[in-house]
């Protein structure tokens, strides 16, 4: 079996992948099973629909394998593809009233956007960064006090 785990994203005690990485992997496997079940049950025995469903399930299984790596590139790929899948599902809903895996894609996108899950993949979500690459805190971006404010205390405004 192909193992794509990296040492930096494993639990140091057991050598297993981070719990957040395992969560995303399980979500993607469940999403592929759900997509297969829904797609094949509602295919109306049309060969094109069955083939498209099976290709999508295979792609979801490959995405789940990629998720196990725990790398930043894996997170970016998963987030982008899940967001596209959600947007495609929304367009299909408005065009044909077919929901498919749209809700599951939304759940996966929200899970991937969680700061703890993103951190498990080495992605830092935040508002911005300074030159050194560290995140800028609220104290660093606070406006300078103006004359008349309690914090002014007679200092010249720079």
Question: Is position 21 within any domain?
Answer: yes
Question: Is position 30 within any domain?
Answer: yes
Domain of residue 31, residue span: 17-124
Question: Is position 10 within any domain?
Answer: no
* Cα separation, 100 vs 102, whole angstroms: 6
| pTM (global) more than 0.75 | no
* Cross-strand bridge partners of residue 65: none
* Cross-strand bridge partners of residue 34: none
Domain count, the chain: 1
CA distances from 75 to 35, 68, 102, 131 (A): 21, 10, 19, 24
Question: Is position 145 within any domain?
Answer: no
pLDDT digits (tens, 9 = 90+) for 8-60: 444 445 555 689 999 999 999 999 998 888 888 877 788 888 898 899 889 98
pLDDT digits (tens, 9 = 90+) for 108-155: 999 999 988 998 898 888 755 544 555 555 555 556 656 665 555 655
Question: Is position 143 within any domain?
Answer: no
Q: Which two tokens stand for residue 10?
A: 């494993």
* Cross-strand bridge partners of residue 17: 10
**The pLDDT of residue 107 is above 80:** yes
Question: Is position 158 within any domain?
Answer: no
pLDDT of res. 148 = 60
Question: Is position 12 within any domain?
Answer: no
Question: Is position 117 within any domain?
Answer: yes
């Amino acid at each position: 079996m192909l193992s794509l785990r990296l040492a930096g994203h494993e639990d140091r005690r057991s050598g297993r992948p981070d719990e957040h990485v395992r969560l995303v992997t399980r979500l993607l496997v469940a999403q592929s099973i759900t997509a297969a079940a829904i797609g094949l049950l509602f295919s109306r025995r049309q060969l094109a629909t069955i083939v498209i469903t099976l290709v999508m399930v295979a792609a979801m299984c490959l995405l789940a394998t990629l998720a196990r790596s725990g790398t930043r590139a894996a997170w970016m790929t998963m987030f982008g593809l899940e967001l596209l899948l959600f947007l495609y599902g929304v367009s299909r809903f408005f065009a044909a009233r077919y929901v498919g895996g749209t809700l599951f894609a939304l759940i996966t996108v929200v899970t991937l956007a969680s700061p703890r899950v993103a951190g498990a993949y080495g992605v830092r979500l935040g508002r911005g960064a300074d030159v050194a690459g560290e995140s800028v805190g609220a104290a660093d971006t606070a406006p300078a006090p103006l004359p008349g404010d309690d914090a002014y205390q007679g200092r010249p405004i720079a």
